[in-house]
Every structure is written in structure tokens, then in C-alpha cells.
Structure 1
Amino acid sequence: MVKISVLMATKNGERTIESSIDSILSQSFTDFEFIIVNDNSSDKTEAIVNKISEIDDRIVLINNLEDPGLTSSLNIGLKRCQGEFVARMDDDDIASSGRITTELEYLEENSSVAIVGSNINYFDNNGVYGKSDFKHSLSKVDIWRGIIFANPTVMIRRSVFEKTGGYNESDDVIRVEDYDYWCKLYSKGFYGVNLDECLLNYREDKLAFKKRNNIRRWRLAKRMFFWRKRMNIPLYLLYVPLFELLKCLVPQNAIRMYHRIKYSDKSI
């Protein structure tokens, strides 16, 4: 049995997926399987993955043709994962060569921690422009407020997935499925940490910001209301989802500019 299962779901990722896959196949830790679920792509994604898999048999390609959607694809991939630990990965990000080693060592040394993530470098077509400064230990309130993990950095014990179930496949969580899953996990008493190291380059270009539209903000606010009682969040914090809704009044370009200023790395 392999130690690690790397899980990626992709849809029409032909533009970036090859470099993302290469960053995983180039890891210093090599005992892993790489489960890639193709979410009914209409571009050359499947052909690209097939070509790489002919060279490296750690890749297992699953085509999700019958039940399209990110969360259903992730759940299909989870059922196939054999590893003791599951590392998430997205089709447009770049993992550092030591990512799996570093996260695995942390989880093996800290048995009470269910999830480990890391800080990230932000990049676009012009290269790296900033880095995150995530909180190390995330509380239940942090998660509910939306202070969550950078999903393509996380490694999770597979036993935790088995105990909590997979991702919510309803339309209510489209674009907020990871937030919803972390709330579910924390509501059941599990918790995680972010490592100080930047173990992944996270793509934040114009296309990424377009996905954070007002429909997504509305869904996020609704999930905050949904999880508040279930996570025993104090009533006075109800201003948090209301503030999220107020962002709908702010132009997207202004939010993007604020993000770049906030996370800009002056040493670059």
C-alpha cells in the first residue's frame, strides 16, 4: 500500500495542468499514487494526462462522465485513494519539491492534527508577486469566519475523510465546497494547522478573481448562516456573513488591487 494519495480534480485544465502535474511527479518523496479525476473536460486535458501517465505509472486517470461537478469528482477520487494520507492538488498551481515530505513528517510527528496546510506564494502570468501570512493554528471560529486553508496545500489523514464523509455535492456549495467541508470537519472535533513555509505557488490571476463573483459571496454567506448553530458560533459574530454580502457592492478590480497590495512581497 502506498503512503500518500495525491488527489486532483480537473476540468478544462489544458492551459496549466502539465506544469502542476510535473511539480508533483518531481517531489523528493516518491511513494505516492496520483489520482486525477477528469471532470468531463471538453479540451485536451485528458490527452495531456494520458500522455504523462504513459511515462509515470503513479498517475491514475479517472474520467467522470456520468456525474459532472467538482465535488462529485473529488468524492469519486477519494473512493479510489489507497494512501494513509491524502494530499490535495489543483490543476493550476505549482508545489515545491519538498511539499509532501514536509507535510508528511508533520502529521507523523503530531498525531492529534487532522490537516496540515502551508503558506503560499501568489503568482500570475508575470511571476510571483506576493506571499501569504496564514494563521498557524486555526480554531473553530477561524474556520467559520472563512479563515481557512489554501486547499491545494493540504494533506489530510484518510481516516478523517472516512469518519466525516466526503464533500457536499449540492449546488448550495458550488465555489465554496472547501469552506463547507472544513466547517463539517471542525464541527466534528477535528482541527488543523498551517506551516510557516511556503510549499506551493498559488495562481491568482484575473481568471481566478473572476470566479469570486457575487454569486459565490452569496453562497458563502448562506453557508455561514447554515453552519453557525451547528458549530456553536456566538450570535454576535453574525456581522461576518453580512460583511461578506457587502463585498457585493465593491468592484471586483478594487478587491483584486487590495489583495495585491495586502500580500505584496517587498523583497521581490
Structure 2
Amino acid sequence: MPRVTVIMSTYNCKNYDQLRNSVMSIINQSYSDWEMIIYNDGSKDHGKTSSYIKRLSALDSRIKTIDCSENHGLAYAKNQMIEEARGEYITAQDDDDVSHPKRLAREVDFLDNHSEYAFVGTVAKVFDANGTWGHYDLKEKPTRNTFLWNSPFLHPSVMFRREVLDQVNGYRVAKDTMRAEDYDLFFRLYARGYEGYNIQEDLYEYRIENNPTKKYRPMSDRIQEAKVRYKGFKSFNMLAKGIPYIIKPILIGLIPQKIFYLIRKNRY
């Protein structure tokens, strides 16, 4: 039985090189006791994504694939993969990101030696097609107050104890979690008394395309995130303090794109 299960979901893959690089970064880990599940979330591209991930699975016997005929979103996909997972530790990998060769080893070692933490993530380099352009900074020991501005964890860098995910029934599948399933999960974990830690090493490379002309998120997604924030801060008994932060994603969505580009560039 593998100790670690790496889960990855993909939908209508448009860049096979990025997907391959992401998978290869797991294959090339210094830690070898893992399995990987790649989930095709109902891609509508005449079988191209399905065929390609099957080719990737042939690269390493520890990789298996799941084909879903319908697209249900990330929360549903991740729950399906967790059901199939055999590892005592579960971690994600985005299909266009890259893990440092020692990422799994460092996270397994941390969880093995720090039973007080339910999960562990890392800080990361931020990159796009032009290379590294920023850094994803996170507090080492997040508290409930750390949730106010943004999620205090970089979700695809996080490794969870399997039993902890089972305790909260995994990801919540709902309309408001379609683009914020990770933030919602961390809220629910902390509300149950679980805590996480961020290793202050660049063990992950997180892709963010910082294009001054591209609108990143529709207002509908921002409204749904506001709902996740409302439920989260309510569970923390922090509604009064959280009100400005509940409406934050909506207010940011009203900022002209060129200004938002500059803000984002300064953020990382």
C-alpha cells in the first residue's frame, strides 16, 4: 500500500506539455512510496484528454486514470479520487504546476514528526510561460485570523492526513464551492479544531498567468466565494469582523482589469 496518494483532475486539456511536465514532477520525486490518480472530469474534446492521460499513465505503473463521462467540477472529482485513494496521506497536484523533487519527502517527514498538525503545505514560486515572476508567501502557522484576507494555504501544495479528510466528508459539493472548494475545506477543518502548517521552502511552482488584458474570474464566481466566506466566518463566530472580507472578492471584481493587473503583480 502506498503511503501517499497524489490526486490530479483535468478537463479539456489544452496544453499537453504542461500536463506532462506536471506529471513528470511527481514521477521524479525523491520520495517513491506514492500512487497517482489522474481524473478526466468529463472532457468534451472527442476523447483527446482521455487518450493523453492514458498515455501518461504508461510512463509509470504507480499512475492510474479515471474517466468520468460528465463534468461535475473539482470538489466532486476530488472526492471521487479520495474514495479510490489507498494512501494514508493525500495531496493534490494541479495539471499545469510543478512540484520540487523533494516536496513529497519533506511533507511526509513533517507529518510523520508533527502529529499536532492535520495537514501541511508550502510556499511557492509563481510562474508563467515567461518564467518565474513572483512568490506565493504564506504564514508559517496560520490562525483563524489568517483566513480574513485570503485562504492561508496554497491548496495544491497541501498534504492531508487521510483520516482528517474523512472526518469532514472531504470536499463540499455545492454551487458556491465550484471555484472555492479549497477555501471552504480549510474553513471547515479549522472550525473542527484541526490546524495546518506551511513549510517555508519553495517546494512548489504555481502557475499564474498575469495578463493585463485577461479577465480572470467572472462576477458569478466572486459572489459564490463571498458565500463561502460568509459560511466560514460564521463557523468561526467571526461574522462582525469578517464582513469587510466577505464582500472583498466582489469589490475586487469591480476594479478595472489594468489596475487589477498591477495589484496582482505587487501581490506576488
Q: TM-score, normalised by structure 1?
A: 0.92
Cα distance, 1:58–1:226 mapped onto 2, change above 3 Å: same
Aligned to 1:266: none
Q: CA, structure 1 residues 129+218, in 2 after alignment: closer, same or farther (shift >3 Å)?
A: same
Name the counterpart of 1:13.
13
192, 195, 206: which one aligns with 2:196: 192
Answer with 174-183 or 44-53: which moved more: 44-53
- C-alpha distance in 1 between matches for 2:14 and 2:239: 44
The alignment status of 1:24 with 2:26, answered yes or no, reads: yes
> Aligned letter for 1:119?
V
Residue 35 of structure 1 aligns with an amino acid whose one-letter code is I
In the TM superposition, what are the counterparts of 1:117-132 in structure 2 within 5 Å? 117-132=121-136
Structure 1 residue 132, shift from structure 2 partner: 2.0
Moved more, 248-257 or 103-112: 248-257
1:255 aligns with 260
Please say if residues 8 and 37 of structure 2, whose CA atoms lie closer than 8 Å, have aligned partners that are also in contact: yes
Alignment of 1:38-77 (within 5 A): 38-43=40-45, 44-66=48-70, 68-77=72-81
Secondary structure class of the residue paired with 1:9? strand
Shift of 1:70: 1.6
Q: Name the aligned partner's letter for residue 205 of structure 2.
A: N
Structure 1 position 146 matched with structure 2 position 136: no
Aligned residue type for 2:240? L
CA distance in 1, matches of 2:210, 2:140: 28
* Partner Cα distance (1:206, 1:161) in 2: 32
Equivalent-residue separation in structure 2 for 1:262 and 1:68 (angstroms): 31
Aligned letter for 2:175?
A: D
2:251 counterpart letter in structure 1: L
CA distance in 2, matches of 1:107, 1:53: 28
Q: Distance in 1 between matches of 2:64 and 2:215?
A: 31
> Alignment identity in percent?
32
Shift of 1:171: 1.1
Q: CA deviation at 1:247?
A: 1.2
Letter in 2 for 1:160: V
Q: Which moved more, 1:58-67 or 1:18-27?
A: 58-67
Whether contact under 8 Å (1:14, 1:48) holds in the other structure is no
Determine the structure 2 residue equivalent to 1:243: 248
CA RMSD in angstroms, aligned pairs only: 1.7
Counterpart residue number, 1:215: 220
Q: Which residue of 1 aligns with 2:4?
A: 4
How far off is 1:151 after superposition? 1.1
Counterpart in 1 of 2:232? 227
CA–CA distance in structure 2, aligned partners of residues 132 and 66 of structure 1: 33
Which stretch has the larger CA shift, 110-119 or 37-46? 37-46
- After superposition, the C-alpha distances for 1:118-156 in whole angstroms (9 at most, x for unaligned) are 011111110111112211111123235423211110100
Deviation at 1:244, TM superposition (A): 3.0
CA offsets 1:21-60 (integer angstroms, 9 cap, x no match): 0111110011100011110113422222111212311111
Comparing 192-201 with 220-229, greater Cα deviation is found at 220-229
Shift of 1:17: 1.0
- Alignment-derived partner of residue 83 in structure 2: 79
| Mapped partners of 1:177, 1:146: distance in 2 | 13
Helix, strand or coil: the match of 2:247?
A: helix
Q: Which residue of 1 aligns with 2:209?
A: 205
The runs of at least 4 aligned residues of structure 1 exceeding 4 Å deviation read: none
Question: CA 1:117/1:64 → structure 2, altered by over 3 Å: closer, same or farther?
Answer: same
Match of 2:97 among 85, 89, 93: 93
Q: Can you give the 5+ residue segments of structure 1 that lack an aligned partner in the other structure?
A: 264-268
